Structure 1
Amino acid sequence: MSARTVVTGLGVVAPNGLGTEEYWKATLAGESGLGRITRFDPSQYPSTVAGEVPGYVAEENIPSRLLPQTDHMTRLALTAAEWAIEDAGVDLGAIPEYDMGVVTAASGGAVEFGQRELQNLWDRGKEYVSAYHSFAWFYAVNTGQISIRHKMRGPGGVLVTEQAGGIDTIGHGRRYVRKGTPLVLTGGVDAALCPWGWVPQIATGLLSTVTDPERAFLPFSADASGYVPGEGGAILILEDAEAAARRGARTVYGEVAGYAATLDPPPGSGRPGLLRRAAEQAVADAGLDPTDIDVVFADGSGVPELDRAESETLAELFGPHAVPVTAPKSMTGRLLGGGGALDVASALLSLRDGVIPPTAKVTAAAPEHPIDLVTEAREADLRNALVLARGYGGFNAALVVTRAG
């Protein structure tokens, strides 16, 4: 085993594209997937805009025997996992089952499935509750279903750190690889677009109430008014670099070079947040200096005070306007457990193609943000990317990915 962990496969399901290349094409073109919610009637709620995955037909992607026991979230995750495996060109049958692991992220589980079954219990009685409810709602269900379907019996886990989770799982996946598991499927796919998943987010006071999808989610903008939730995410295949070379991996997107996570002190403590520490430690873990980072994929919450804290952190770490910063989630919404993983996939695609995707719908950073915000796709010689994520409750995560070759 080597000390290097590389990404050999990507599977993306996003509000602006099904499949990695469709998503990437739309993202570089600045095409948004945000719109008024259609998965339920949002008219009674103050927030009505979300990022929904379009055109997904479960029956075309999921075996019929799995349909009764899976939520929309898990179906998207199973599909993204299948695409990532295909993209990696790996023959799972040639790898011992205990040499493959799975670790995914979740924010709260399959809430749509859970809401439906609890409604059946309350309205119709216990005999109308699905037996699959015992596990289908659970926050670890994506890890479980993927593991079972692909006979991946090695290390497994689930990280519940909200938006930071998609990065945390990749950090943990790298740890599994370094400990001797040759292949780990990791990342996150989330979906909580139902009343049971919507109301808790409204209760945070962080959601945008703007009804125009073009203006609802504007990270780092003077018109920022909160965040817009979305569904989807990305699944990645991590492999030991030597093992990938031995099997003749056809694609290496890049290396997971550095990772760190921190937890902010309690609100009202008077102590500063720890996003900067996470970023610094991830860069150091990669064996790099801040001057080596060519682009930052920001958390970009769209909440003015949180955006200000992040932009100030970046200015302190890199210098004002010193490194390009982007938040392509402006086109998808914040995907909870899937968001960090999708940003990592975007960073790897940026390194591959030498182009930084835009923070779409934002014409310029507000004056209080001392950052070089990328608002149109920008070509650049990219070697190292830093990806940041913050989860509700004080979670911070940072990941450094480096270009292949």
Structure 2
Amino acid sequence: MQEAFLHYIWQFKKFDTTALKSTRGEGITLRNTGHPNLHGGPDFFNAQLEIDGILWVGNVELHIKSSDWYVHHHETDLAYDNVILHVVYEHDTDIFRKNNSVIPTVELKDIIHSKVFHNYQHLLMAPHKWINCESDFANVDDFIVDNWLERLYIERLERKSKTIEELLYATKNDWEAVLFTLLAKNFGLKINGDAFLSMAKSFDFSIIRKLHSQPLQLEALLYGQAGVLDKDFEEAYYLSLVKEYHFLKQKFNLSTTHVIPLQYFRLRPPNFPTIRLSQLAMLYHQHPNFFAKLMAAETLENLYQLFRVGTSEFWTTHFTFEKTSKLSKKVLTNNFIDLLLINTVLPLKFSYLKHQGKNPTELNLQLAQMISPEKNNIITAFDALKPLATSAMLTQALLQLKTEYCDKNRCMKCAIGNSILAK
């Protein structure tokens, strides 16, 4: 039994409200169950109910057992002084106010609607499954699923906005610096994301601004700070990078103390850090004031054009410094750009428009619905239950659903879970 289930039962009155009585026999008439409290304090605010004919307005607290009141030390918390009703699944002890009067208690155990309780057991108490509702997921009404996934996509953007707010604070509201930091992390992908992020945070973004017209110095900065220039090679391009980096290191007092080492294991050559760092350097060489350009772009094609960059010439015949390879222009692919748009650009657009007092939702949804869906194990598993992943907006929403609801058994907070309980 979860308290979240009791919240659902109370909020939507999924119990017998006729002839409702307290555990001490007091008659109770529900006028309003109150407003759910998403923060600290009692579970529902401003409930209205009659107890033996007297109207009470105040807060309601819910627990599995009455004694949980003392387990959670509510008796010492002033926030619970205005509780007018204690709602529990099982009553095992009376709860007293500070004046020693008993707080009325309603026990739900025997008055919950049987069908709702059966659905709850089916949903959350069945043997282990990938997600609790996997046997019902395909049959949930499309309107409910579509609306819920759209809300989840916005919820995921809100969560990412918190990271952006932290970076804004650290950079003194420098949006260009925040963009570079997030891009660096996502250029590193899953394996080197943290390493690239630590590299980006190891120097002030003002250095990028100063070097944007010097591509060799930009590469030297990124390679040097990422720890790539610590080998003993005689290749002319490599020696040029080392020379430039030594100059920059002294000029800007650079340090790599907190930079995480790079990984090459299980990476395809196009994703080698050497290639991605050169592409990142060329991006900032070609696009000073990159943030302003991205925020001004309102179509997917405009965004693709901004990101269509390659590497410096050396890397057209190399993946590493040691060996030559077949000639190929290593330009950012649309699939890779999609990842950058999903994980960096769209969250930044969302946060930036909010900071300007504008509604960020419509443009964000429009762009996300045009981007191809992501491919990973979670999306594949959802599609096996019900084909849904037709755009990046939907795949992001499904990831939010799995990680923040399914994995945490938050079915009572999920529109899909609620629809199954109510069927």
Q: Which structure's residues are more often helix, by fraction?
A: 2
Greater relative contact order (Cα < 8 A, sep 6+): 1
Highest CA radius of gyration, 1 or 2? 2
* TM bracket (short chain): under 0.3
Q: Which structure's residues are more often strand, by fraction?
A: 1
Return the TM-score normalized by structure 1. 0.23
Return the TM-score normalized by structure 2. 0.22
